[in-house]
Structure 1
Amino acid sequence: MPVNLLFGTPSTAAGDAHGELTSACVRRLAAVWGPIFVELWTERRCPVLAKEDMEPRLRQQMQDYRIDTGVDLPPGAMVVMLSSWRSLYGQIALEEFGHFAPLFSDQEPMFELLMLDLMRGMGLQHQCQPPAR
């Protein structure tokens, strides 16, 4: 499967089908990423924005995402989950589409730094172990 089908979005040339295709992709991703994060959240809660401290539009979007995908997390934890996914997605897409090449021939140090940052943000940095060389 070409990488741009995984990391790109359906063309707006698809008209009305664009929204349907994009929503289907988001739901499929939530079905993979959501349960993993729910398990992490259940076992090791991290500091998150309180529902009442969230900007109302963001809070509503998190509630809509929960209803649409079935990912059962409080809105603040949902923000952490989606922010983590956004960071991982960005790192992988930049590498896959060659945006760092030829300046960075080895992406692993940047990826490991990202993982440490994400784990630190969740208070789990002591569990972050880079792969053995």
Structure 2
Amino acid sequence: MNRPVRRSRERAATDRDIRQTARALLVEHGPEAVTLRAIARELGITAPALYRYYGSRDDLIEHLRLDVISDLGEALTAEITGQENAGAPRLFAICKGFRRWALTHTKEFTLVFASPGGSTGNSVAKLKQLTEPFGRLFLLAAGEVLLSDEVALPSDDVVPPELRDDLADYRDALLAVLAEAGTAVPAERLTIGTTYLMMQFWARLYGHVTLEVFGNYPIPVSKPDALFDALLADLAREIGLVLG
């Protein structure tokens, strides 16, 4: 390729082109394949041209991660839009939708939920990103459940003393995010014990889905849907609910 043509293509390469190419590499080959050099090769430009948009690979990966999280949030929102029953039915519908998405978007799941934090340190698996689409959707549904008198709230006594300060800080952040979204959960309902329960709920859901996505069940499972439904039923019972 001669220099004038290359320069023309570099000018024509847009942020949208870069992200679409990065997403295609992710879906086809996995997170490790998403490099500035590979993207430049696919677009027919030089790698330095990409630095007009992204300062590093980590910068690009973080934007790609946010794109994936946004898509997941939109997909799950579409699933529950128009659903008559809020509260627990909506929360568990989100759980089922998350599993379906993970099983059909394994490379995206790997990038967002199963990759080391690295320099970005923004794994949604930790539920740190409370204001991102997926985290917000999950937590708002959980907030609706907490407002239900049917839920059995645990005592703070169940929380190991070593975890209470961390959980208290996280509880305060949760209350602020829920209130900003229009779900005012009384502080007496979102106790440290309840926050601990929410953390355990997420850990079990995330752990189960991760085992299934990567085929790491300890035994062969011929009916994984039944196993996941049993997990949700167990989680429901632990908070005093019965799934219909």
TM band (smaller chain): 0.7 to 0.9
Name the % identity: 24
Match of 1:26 among 128, 131, 140: 128
Change (3 A) 1:66 1:9: farther
Q: How far, CA to CA, are the matches of 1:101 and 1:86 in structure 2?
A: 18
Change (3 A) 1:101 1:83: closer
SS in 2 for 1:26: coil
Q: How far, CA to CA, are the matches of 1:9 and 1:103 in structure 2?
A: 25
Compare CA radii of gyration and give the structure with the larger one: 2
- Aligned residue pair count: 121
- Which letter does structure 2 place at the counterpart of 1:98? G
Match of 2:191 among 64, 69, 74: 74
Q: How far, CA to CA, are the matches of 2:158 and 2:220 in structure 1?
A: 41
Superposition CA RMSD, Å = 2.7
Which residue is 2:33 aligned to? Answer: none
For residue 123 of structure 1, report the CA deviation from its aligned partner.
1.1
Q: How far, CA to CA, are the matches of 1:121 and 1:25 in structure 2?
A: 21
Contact 2:158/2:193 (<8 A) preserved: no
1:1-133 to 2 correspondence within 5 Å? Answer: 2=107, 3-12=109-118, 14=119, 17-18=120-121, 21-22=122-123, 26-27=128-129, 28=132, 29-43=134-148, 44-50=150-156, 54-69=159-174, 70=176, 73-100=190-217, 103-125=220-242, 128-129=243-244
Change (3 A) 1:65 1:119: same
- Which letter does structure 1 place at the counterpart of 2:202? W
Q: How far, CA to CA, are the matches of 1:38 and 1:66 in structure 2?
A: 12
SS in 1 for 2:145: helix
For residue 98 of structure 1, report the CA deviation from its aligned partner.
1.4
- CA offsets 1:65-102 (integer angstroms, 9 cap, x no match): 12344356211111111111111101111101111398
Greater relative contact order (Cα < 8 A, sep 6+):
1
Deviates more, 1:60-69 or 1:113-122: 60-69
Where does structure 2 lack aligned partners over 5 or more consecutive residues?
A: 1-67, 69-106, 179-184
**TM-score between both structures, scaled by the size of structure 1:** 0.74
- Which letter does structure 2 place at the counterpart of 1:107? P
**TM-score between both structures, scaled by the size of structure 2:** 0.43
Contact 2:167/2:195 (<8 A) preserved: yes
Q: How far, CA to CA, are the matches of 1:120 and 1:48 in structure 2?
A: 13
For residue 122 of structure 1, report the CA deviation from its aligned partner.
0.9
